[in-house]
Structure 1
Amino acid sequence: MKLDPITLRLFVAVMEESAIARAAAREHIAPSAASRRLAELEEQLQVELFTRSNRGSQPTAAAYALLNMARGVLNEMDGIATQMRDYAQGGEQGLRGHVRVMANISSITQFLPAQLQSFMNQHPHVDVRLQERVSTDIARAVADNEADIGLLNRGSYGSRVTLRPYRCDRLAVVVPQSHPLARKRSLKLEQVVEHDLIGMHADSALNHLITRSAADQGLQPRLRMKVTGYDALCLMVAAGLGLGILPEGSARIYMGTLPLHCIRLDESWADRQLMLCVRSQDSLSPVAQLLAEHLCQPDEPLKNI
């Protein structure tokens, strides 16, 4: 059996795009050639990957199983290319490889810069590929072998992933310096929702947490607008358009540059646990295992940034 990477990449593209035409365009191949390659792949594997009808093609259970394996194979092949390129450029010493990391915005803005800086200082030939996603997407991506390591909010994500404690953070309220609440040392949620709020996008774990907690207390937040990042949230708050709730560590980034005050949110649910997520420890490459252990070590200060 000869499985070539071009066909495997095409297969992954078809699964991700849910259409042969879009997948063919993504992989720069004619749709007719793409269909032929998929048929040849089924013939080689002696299994039906798609059920075809006049309404299109639907992946079979075998296709979903192959998707996970194909992503792993292609990831390893990319790793080979990366390491050999380093050797071709004259490098000889040190750990080599690449790791795919997906993290939520709270992890990225509070903890990852210092941790990745220290890790890559120790291992300059390791290629860390980082993407920001929401927690549910991160867990799915790790389970489906789209990522090696995920950093997300604590939750129930099914049996296909393994979680371990990563970091704790605390939610806080940001208000304009001129706001009547700016002199408060702490705030309850009921005090906050008396004012307009700038919220995160609908899919964010933070948005779900605030909405659920408000409903539990019989409160109705007035979301004036939703944004996709903490920088946008803080800019809107500084402009006097509403109050915001975000991790205290993320809020502190903007305290020196924007006219804001950061106030403790006095709610039990404001203390959150972030988790590190993998398929299993055995599924990680040696370099991914090393990064996972590094991420779970105590914080280090960020230098020269």
Structure 2
Amino acid sequence: MREPSASRRQPWHVCEAGSAAAAAEKSSVVTSAVSKRLSQLEAQIGTPLLLRKRHGMVPTVAGQTLLEHARLLLHTAEQMDHDLKAQAAGGWGQVRVLASVSSMMGPLVPDIGSFLRKHANISVDLEEASTPRVVEGVRQGLATLGVGWSVGDLSNLEGVPYRSDELCVVVPSGHPLSRRSSVKFDALLAHELVAQPPTSALQVLMRQLAAKAGMTFRQRVVVHSYDTALRVVQAGLAAGIVPRTVAQVTGVALGLKQIDLDEPWAVRQFVICHRGESALTPAAKLLLEHLRGLAG
């Protein structure tokens, strides 16, 4: 089984690099060969795939559609090649998993660890992403399994309940809320908060809840990781909402106070998403069954 040829990757490289010249360099061919391949594809499909602009190229709607299918096909071909080689060598192959930060900092990594101890001939490629990116990555075929918060849009995918986690509030000593054992979300909105990127599932939910309550989400700092969020809280700049597992490990080391978030949505359900049983390799099915058995 051969790797997908460089010529098959050239249109993909143009989309990623933004120019035929950069794609040619990445493919180790001359620019004219890339341009010819693109022209052949456009003639075959009957519609432009790329818009030629002054400073490069961008995919058209048709080009973006082709790109998504090409990624899926190339990933499938590479996965097939890897799995067949592994099986020929007496192994089971590899499973690519996209997972949310919360799931990785919580139960997922130990659960995968227990799986790998039972299946020494299987390897797991685990990558961290936000829940929306997890779902989209599985939908596009960039990963076989995805683990994220259950609020993600799972249309055209199958979802399997996994474990759950709990959100809590963290504040530094001396904060007005530091003497409380629990707090409602609307009371928390009276204080400045550390925020996540606007596309994160938790951030979207909190903004929706704040708007529903007729209040403003007063963000002081926007961060991209829970570790950074805890550092912001430690500095006394804002209060934060983080998974309990994060607060218990890193928050305690930073001397932060944990406060229960008295809301039903503070307990979050994780799901494992995939494109259906027929899209799963034997190794992926084994991992899915292992994680499903640990749900709760």
What range describes the TM-score normalised by the shorter chain of this pair?
0.7 to 0.9
Deviation at residue 191 of structure 1 after TM alignment: 2.0
1:76 equivalent in structure 2:
80
2:34 equivalent in structure 1:
34
1:1-305 pair list within 5 angstroms: 4-16=4-16, 19-38=19-38, 47-48=45-46, 50-51=48-49, 58=60, 59=62, 64-80=68-84, 87=89, 92=90, 95-155=91-151, 157=153, 159-298=155-294
Deviation at residue 48 of structure 1 after TM alignment: 4.9
Question: Which TM-score applies when normalising by structure 1?
Answer: 0.83
What SS does the aligned partner of 2:147 have? strand
Contact 1:7 1:41 in 2 (8 A): no
Deviation at residue 27 of structure 1 after TM alignment: 3.7
Q: 1:233 to 1:82 in 2, by over 3 A?
A: farther
Aligned amino acid, residue 233 of structure 2 = V
Aligned amino acid, residue 33 of structure 1 = A
Note the alpha carbon deviations across 1:65-111, whole angstroms, 9 max, x for none. Answer: 44432331133224445666xx4xxxx5xx42111111111111111
Deviation at residue 298 of structure 1 after TM alignment: 2.1
Question: Relative to structure 2, which stretch is displaced further, 148-157 or 286-295?
Answer: 148-157
Q: 1:295 to 1:20 in 2, by over 3 A?
A: farther
Contact 2:3 2:81 in 1 (8 A): no
1:303 equivalent in structure 2:
none
Compute the RMSD of aligned alpha carbons: 2.9
Deviation at residue 255 of structure 1 after TM alignment: 3.4
Aligned amino acid, residue 35 of structure 1 = S
Q: How far, CA to CA, are the matches of 2:292 and 2:159 in structure 1? A: 12
Deviation at residue 3 of structure 1 after TM alignment: 9.5
Q: Identical aligned pairs, as a percentage?
A: 31
Aligned amino acid, residue 9 of structure 1 = R
Deviation at residue 260 of structure 1 after TM alignment: 0.5
Deviation at residue 245 of structure 1 after TM alignment: 0.6
Q: 1:253 to 1:27 in 2, by over 3 A?
A: farther
Q: 1:83 to 1:228 in 2, by over 3 A?
A: farther
Q: How far, CA to CA, are the matches of 1:47 and 1:156 in structure 2? A: 34
Aligned amino acid, residue 13 of structure 2 = A
Q: 1:98 to 1:139 in 2, by over 3 A?
A: same
Note the alpha carbon deviations across 1:258-298, whole angstroms, 9 max, x for none. Answer: 11011110112222221111011111000011111222232
Question: Number of matched residues?
Answer: 289
Q: How far, CA to CA, are the matches of 2:156 and 2:10 in structure 1? A: 25
Q: 1:10 to 1:289 in 2, by over 3 A?
A: farther
Q: 1:51 to 1:208 in 2, by over 3 A?
A: closer
| Structure 1 unaligned spans of 5+ | 301-305
What SS does the aligned partner of 1:179 have? coil
What SS does the aligned partner of 1:235 have? helix
Deviation at residue 241 of structure 1 after TM alignment: 1.1
Q: How far, CA to CA, are the matches of 1:52 and 1:177 in structure 2? A: 56
Question: Relative to structure 2, which stretch is displaced further, 150-159 or 167-176?
Answer: 150-159
What SS does the aligned partner of 1:291 have? helix
Q: 1:96 to 1:294 in 2, by over 3 A?
A: same
Q: How far, CA to CA, are the matches of 1:296 and 1:149 in structure 2? A: 12
What SS does the aligned partner of 1:172 have? strand
Aligned amino acid, residue 259 of structure 1 = G
Q: How far, CA to CA, are the matches of 2:175 and 2:3 in structure 1? A: 64
Q: How far, CA to CA, are the matches of 2:106 and 2:10 in structure 1? A: 37
Q: How far, CA to CA, are the matches of 2:209 and 2:259 in structure 1? A: 18
